[in-house]
Structure 1
C-alpha cells in the first residue's frame, strides 16, 4: 500500500471521529443549555403529557421553522418540537404559572363548528371583521369566555355566549357559540362529530320570521278568481314569533301553537326543538309545515281535513284589498237576486226592484224573508228535514248554529256538537241572521243554478250554503255541500231534495 493511500485512510478516520464528537457535543449542548423560558400549553400535544394548561420548559425557539423545543412535565430528559401556536411563552416560571392558573377553567374546553363558514371575528360583535373562516366540524381552542354584543335573527335574540378562541394556525379571535358545539377534551377521546342537528342558516330563519306565511290554497283561489271570504282570511296562516319562541298555525278547522326552545336542522327540515313541528322549504316562496313526524303527501290545496301537515306560501297580494273586491262582488249578487225576483213575478215589466224585503212562502219549508241590507228571517221550518235549515240551539233564541267552530269557517258535514231544540221550539222561534250571496259555483252546478248564498246565524257562526234558481215563477233552493278549499261549491248535499217557494207579492 502506498504512502498516499495510508495518509488518505488516516484523514478519513479523523474526519469520522470529528463528526461523531460534534454530534455528541451538540446533543450535550442542548441538554445543558440555559432555558429560553417557560410556556403554557394551549393545544394539547397528542400522545404526550403536554396537555392544555400544563407549564413546560422552553429550550429553543426557531423563527425559521416556527417551532419550540420543549420539555415534558413528567420527563426532564425528554424534549420535543412543537408549533409556535401550541404555547403561550413567558420569560419566567412564575409568570407562566400565573397564566396557567387563569387559563385552568378553560384548559380542557374546545368549540366545534356546527356549520360551514362560521366566522372567527376581530371583536365579540357580528359587525366586526372576520379574521378566520371555520369549516364544518373544525375545532378551535377556548381561551376565555367574554362579554359581547347580543346576536339577533328575525328580531329574536339568539341564545349563546361569546368566546375568545384560537384556531389551529394560531389565529385568535371571537366566536358566538349558538352555532357551535362546546365539548371537553378527554383522554383518548376525539372531538364530537357535528352534522346530525346543526343550527340552521340564519337566512332561512329570517325568512320564516319575516312575515306571515299563508295557506297555499290562497293562490289557487286567486288564480281561479274564486275567493271565499271565510277561507281567505287574515286569521289563517303560519305565524312564527321569534321573540316568544313559538309558531302559531291557523287553518280551517285547526288551530295550534308550537312552543320551541331552539331551532336545529336535520336534512331539509328545520326542527323546532321541544315541539312536534318541523318546516322545510320547497322553494323560496313555499314551505311545508309538518307535525306528524311522517312524510305526508299533500293535496294540491296544501291542506285537508284531519291533516297534520300543510303547505304555505309567501303571498304578495293584500288580503284586505282582495276581500274588499270580493265583498263588492257579493253585494252586487244580492242586488242581482232582487232583480231576478222581480222578473219572476207575473208582471215583470212593471215589477219594482226597489223593494227592501222579499218574502217567499212554502207549505213545507215555511216563510223566508230576505232584506236588501243582507239579513234574513226564516220561520215555520218544522216540516223541513233536520239539517236543511240552520238549527237553533236550545235556549239560544236563534243566536247560534249547532257545532259552530270558533274560527267561523265552513266545515265538513258531521254530527252537531249540541242537540237542536225540539221541532215545536224551532217552529216558534224564527231563525235570523245574515245572508250572503255570491257563491262560486263549479261547472256542474253553474249550468243548472243561477247562483248561491250562505246563511250565517250568531256572532261566530258556522254557515249553511244553498244554490237557487227561479223556475215558473217560483224560487227553487237546494242545500249545497261545503265549499272546497279552491273557493268553489261543487255539489249538492245528497241528503235533501229541492224546496220550492212562491213569491209573496206585496
Structure 2
C-alpha cells in the first residue's frame, strides 16, 4: 500500500513540474543589452520561470522555442503582453541610451528631488542605463539652477532611482556589449577629466607635496634619524616644476628613488580613474592616495613582469635639517663621553684615550683578539654613533658606539654606559640589529669596564 502511495506522490510531483514549465509568467522588457545572447535593450521577452535562488528568469524570444536565463534585474516585472508593449513604448525615447558618471559619489535618489533619500552612490566612470525622463524639482548650486534634467536610471547592480543628468555623459550603445561601450566611454571621459578644475586642483596639490619613503615618517615619529637610510635624494617626484608653471599640463617623467626600489616613467597626463585612484597616461604607473589629509601615496608599477608597490609619505619637515640636527646630536654625545675621560683604563682590556670626540687610541687589547677585534687591527680608531638602541635597553645603556679600527673593514659595535666611575662596554657584534636599531643584547656577551683616569 505504501508503495502505491509513493508512486502516486511521485507522479503528482512530475506532473506539477512539467506543467509549471508549460506555464508563462507573462512578458517583460529587457532593460540592459545582453551580449551573451546578442539581444538589445528594449526587446520584449516571454518569461517562463522565475528562480529566486539563482536570481534569474528563464525566458525566450516570442515565437522561438529555445529558452535561456537572464538576471532578474535586467527585466521589468512580468505582465501581460499589452502592458509590456506600453512599457516598451515608455522606454523608446532612451532606447540603447546609457551614461558614464562624471562625478565620484554622485547620488541616485528615491524621487526626482535633490533632498530625497539617497539609494545609491555612483563611482566616477561607472555606466548606468537611462530609462526615461521625469518632471522633478530644479537643482541649484548656490548661484542658480544647474543645467540638466532628472532621469530614471538603472545601475548594473540592479538599483533603480532618479539621477540628475548634469554630471552624466550620455551615449548610445552601438552593440550588445555595454562593457565595450563602457571602455570607449571612459576614454571620452579622460578628456573631460583633464578639464575638470576640481580634479586638476587635487592633482596639483599632490604635485606640490614632497614625497618620501614611509620609513622616513617612522624615523621622525620615534625620534631615531638613521642618516644611513634617510637620504635626501630618496623619494618620488612627478617631474613637474610648479614654480615655473603654476598650471601644469601634467606631462613629465615620474621618478622613484628609494633604498630598495627605483625607476622612471614618462607620461602625458595624470587621469583620475576612481576616488583617490590615478593613472599616469602613457606608462604603467598607477597611484593611490590614502589618509585623511591625502598624505600617503601607494605607487604601483611593473618590474620584470611583476607588479610592485611602494608606499610614500608627504612630509613638511626639511630632510637636510633633520640630518644636520642628528649629526649635531651625535657629536654632542661623543663630546660628553670624551670629556668624561678622556682616558679610560682596564687592567684586562687596555687603555682607551679620546684624542677628540671622533678619534681614539686603544692600546693593549690583545685579550679581545680575534674574538671581537681582528688581528689585523691597529689601535688608531675612528668613533661613530651609527645605531640606536630599543626602548627596552635604555634603562641599562646610553646607546651603541662603533669603533672603526684601522686595518678592519667593518666597525666593532659596543653597547655603552657612561657611569660616575668610568665607561662600560658590552660586545654587540652579534646583537640583533633591525633598521638601524639594536633590539636586544647578544647571547652571553663580553662586558668590559674601563675606569676614568
Q: Settle same-fold status: TM greater than 0.5.
A: no
Higher relative contact order (CA 8 A, sep 6+): 1
Tell me the TM-score normalized by structure 2: 0.44
